[in-house]
Amino acid sequence: MLAKRIIACLDVKQGRTVKGIQFRDLVDMGDPVEQALYYAQQGIDELLFLDISATHEKRKTMAAMVNAVARNINIPFTVGGGISSVEDVSILLQNGADKVTVNTAAVNDPRLISDLAKQFGSQCIVLSVDTKTVEGEWLVYLNGGRQPTSLRTIDWVKQATSLGAGEILLTSIDHDGTRNGFAIEMTACIAELVNIPVIASGGAGNMQHFADVFREGKADAALAAGIFHERSLEINKLKAFLNSQSINIRP
């Protein structure tokens, strides 16, 4: 069994790391390059750099910042925000990204997933799914959680996997920033549905939440932002706790 991964998310807007609750009320959390270096030194397994307003503002992720972050770390690094073409991905990979994540553009044109997978390999393509419970159904949201759709999360994940997505970043908008725990039921459902890794995102508040999403939610990785940015949960202590729970975690 592959070791579970801990991922820190760097949500960036206008060149600064930010964090909000349910994708709103964003608060400045510092310089993303400094944050990235800190996490690499602390033993985080991976980083996600997400330009959260790129799609909404109809611009591209800032390649220069991606390059600056990549030059300061030696761990896997995923980049997303405003990606809509093979050329976009090529630029990001050339600037140091290990993987890219696509969301809105992939829903608008699912062929993008297969095009990217063929060009760069499925291992480079992470499908980001922002989802919210609406009348008992998990539905996909676009443009940084601003735009609701009628697309069922389960249907979209199945389709994207068949098109070549190599990993699923599953974010519960209902849980995001609440620190009340991950969306265990939904994460487990998606993890059992696909044969590719699932990253749980949204709701991390303490060490037990990570243990729960790995054990009960069947997640392959767990992502958090606020509790890491505030230094209220140290990476080494989290890993030691998970080890004590007999959860196979990367050293």
Q: Can you give the pLDDT at residue 49?
A: 87
Cα pseudo-dihedral 214, 17, 93, 63, rounded to 10: 170
User: Is pLDDT above 80 for 164?
Assistant: yes
What pTM, to 2 d.p., does this model score?
0.91
216 pLDDT tier (thresholds 50, 70, 90): very high
Q: Token pair of 156, please?
A: 């979209």
Residues 237, 109: Cα–Cα separation, whole Å: 42
Closest CA to 169 of 150, 197, 192: 197
Q: What is the pLDDT of residues 21-53, one digit of tens each?
A: 544 555 665 788 888 898 999 999 999 988 876
Q: Can you give the pLDDT at residue 155?
A: 98
Has 176 been annotated as catalytic? no
User: Is pLDDT above 90 for 69?
Assistant: no
- Rounded-to-5 percentages of helix, strand, coil across the chain: 35, 30, 35
Q: Can you give the pLDDT at residue 61?
A: 58
User: Is pLDDT above 70 for 205?
Assistant: yes
Residues 20, 178: Cα–Cα separation, whole Å: 9
64 pLDDT tier (thresholds 50, 70, 90): confident
Q: Can you give the pLDDT at residue 35?
A: 85
Q: Can you give the pLDDT at residue 230?
A: 83
Closest CA to 6 of 159, 237, 240, 235: 235
Catalytic hit among 45, 51, 130, 220: 130
The mean per-residue pLDDT over the stretch 82-87 comes to 91
Has 98 been annotated as catalytic? no
Q: Can you give the pLDDT at residue 19?
A: 56
The mean per-residue pLDDT over the stretch 138-158 comes to 93
Listed range (11-25, 32-46, 87-101, 106-120) with the worst mean pLDDT: 11-25
Query: Which secondary structure element, helix H or strand E, spans residue 120, and what is its range?
Result: helix 111-120
Q: Can you give the pLDDT at residue 13?
A: 74
Q: 144: which residues sit within 8 A by CB, 6+ positions away?
A: 23, 52, 53, 55, 56, 130
Q: Give domain 5-244's CATH architecture.
A: Alpha-Beta Barrel (3.20)
Q: 58: which residues sit within 8 A by CB, 6+ positions away?
A: 82
59 pLDDT tier (thresholds 50, 70, 90): very low
Largest CA distance in the chain: 46
User: Is pLDDT above 80 for 16?
Assistant: no
From the CA atom positions of the chain, what is the Rg in Å? 16
99 pLDDT tier (thresholds 50, 70, 90): very high
DSSP letters along 157-185, please?
HHHHHHHT--EEEEEETTTTTT-S---HH
Q: Can you give the pLDDT at residue 44?
A: 97
Q: Can you give the pLDDT at residue 24?
A: 53
